Amino acid sequence: MPSLPKGRQRQKQLYDAAARLFAAQGYHATSLRELAEALGLNKSSLYHYFDSKQELLYQLLDDYISEALEGIQALCGDGQAPEEKLAAFMRYYTRFYARDLDRLALLVNEVDSLEPRFRKVLEKKERRYLAALTDIFEQLRGQGRLKQVPSTVAAFAFFGMVHYTFKWYRPKGKVSPEELSDMFWEIFGRGVLRPREGA
């Protein structure tokens, strides 16, 4: 009862392997034959676990984005000061992806590989994602704490900084995810925030 039922276990292996391959080589450059081989399975056996390659990618991405969205919304709910909210958001967000770069690579690169039917669903969730951050910026602006920069520019500047990490950052290297999140907050936060008047 504590461990996963056998079938689910296999399914998780499959999803993990797919994520790894898609992240490393790209969705289009990865064949189902390759995926099957990585699992020691026959290609046709894969179809026991999903209906099509597109649907496999969609399920991966939807799982990831939904989980991230939940985490973010949990952070943004309560009545903290906007500056604390921003710091919490950015540190959580950076750590979350610095620890799972495959996930990040998939979300950044492969949403465009989906058919419109699937892509639209995810883009909707991405917009809520973005809105969570721009909302915080607007609260800061209301308090006169934001520099003269459009909220969307600020938000995408931050997303760019973090989303690009999968291209160069390695969590087992000299800089831990915790340290990275501190550095990003220092670089970005101090840059965007105007010092309190009379400080």
Nearer to a copy of itself, 14 or 181 (CB): 181
Binding segment for DNA (CB under 7 A), chosen from 24-32, 71-79, 124-132, 174-182, is: 24-32
CA–CA dist 21, 38 (Å, integer): 9
Closest CA to 98 of 189, 26, 16, 176: 176
Question: Closer CB to DNA, residue 56 or residue 98?
Answer: 56
- Sign for the CA dihedral angle at 109, 110, 115, 120 comes to negative
Relative orientation angle of helices 151-163 and 101-109, to the nearest 10 degrees: 130
Residue 146 phi, psi (nearest 5): -105, 135
Residues 50-69 binding DNA (CB under 7 A) are: 51-54
81, two tokens:
């000061």
State which of residues 18, 50, 162, 177 lies at the interface with a copy of itself (CB under 8 A).
162
Number of amino acids touching DNA (CB under 7 A): 20
For residue 38, state whether it binds a copy of itself (rule: CB under 8 A).
no
Other C-beta atoms closer than 10 Å to the C-beta of 93 total: 23
- Cβ atoms of 163 and 109 within 8 Å: the answer is no
Which residues, numbered 33-52, are part of the site for DNA (CB under 7 A)?
33-34, 40-45, 47-48, 51-52
Residues lying near DNA in the complex (CB under 7 A) are found at: 6-7, 10, 30-34, 40-45, 47-48, 51-54
Residues lying near a copy of itself in the complex (CB under 8 A) are found at: 26, 28-29, 108-109, 112-113, 147, 149-150, 152-154, 156-157, 159-165, 167-169, 174-175, 180, 183-184, 186-192
